[in-house]
Amino acid sequence: MIMKLVPPTPSLPLILILVIPLLQPLPVPAALFHVGGPMGWTVPPTPDFYQTWASARNYTIGDVLEFSYTGPSSLLNVRKYEYHRCNSSHPIYNFSGGMTRFVLLYSGNCYFISSDFHACKKGQRLAVRVLPRHRRSPPPSSSHRGA
């Protein structure tokens, strides 16, 4: 004989507790960063230009990177391995058209290179570290997190 177990029906207060956090508005509006400032996305004057630019800012999920560029080469979103080698053979995304807005959807590192190998080697590549969204409004008693 097979007995069928009927799961208990959750009570209404429990359902409300589970749903309400999902309805909270996001705490901080997203930021838009124009990559490279007035210079835009191009072969930079120094190889570390974009890393210096990137390290002066904090990036959070939902923020937008705006790339403006000219010429035939495209903008590639790549993996770490390809970023370090200027390897354009298997990008995650391949953008062209001179104006690309990239929404940072995941926390962790995010990498971009020029599809032009020599331009990439001269510094036209960017790595940003994206932080989770709750970072800007930490709870008051967070001193033991990660312990």
Ligand X SMILES: *[C@@H]1O[C@H](CO)[C@@H](O)[C@H](O)[C@H]1NC(C)=O
Q: Which residue ranges make up the site for ligand X (CB under 6 A)?
A: 57-58, 74, 82, 85, 87-91, 94, 96, 115
Which DSSP letter does residue 9 get?
P
Question: Least distance (Å) from ligand X to the CB of residue 5?
Answer: 49
* Count of other CB atoms within 10 angstroms of residue 28: 13
Residue with smaller CB distance to ligand X, 9 or 89? 89
Residues 132, 104 contacting (CB under 8 angstroms): no
In sequence order, what are the beta bridge partners of 11?
none
Pairing between β-strand 125-131 and β-strand 59-60 as defined by DSSP bridges:
parallel
> Shortest approach of ligand X to residue 18 CB, angstroms?
31
Instruction: Report the residue number, 87 or 107, with the smaller CB distance to ligand X.
Output: 87
Backbone angles phi, psi at 131, to 5 degrees: -95, 155
To the nearest whole angstrom, how small is the minimum distance from the Cβ of residue 66 to ligand X? 17
Q: Which is nearer to ligand X, 51 or 87 (CB)?
A: 87
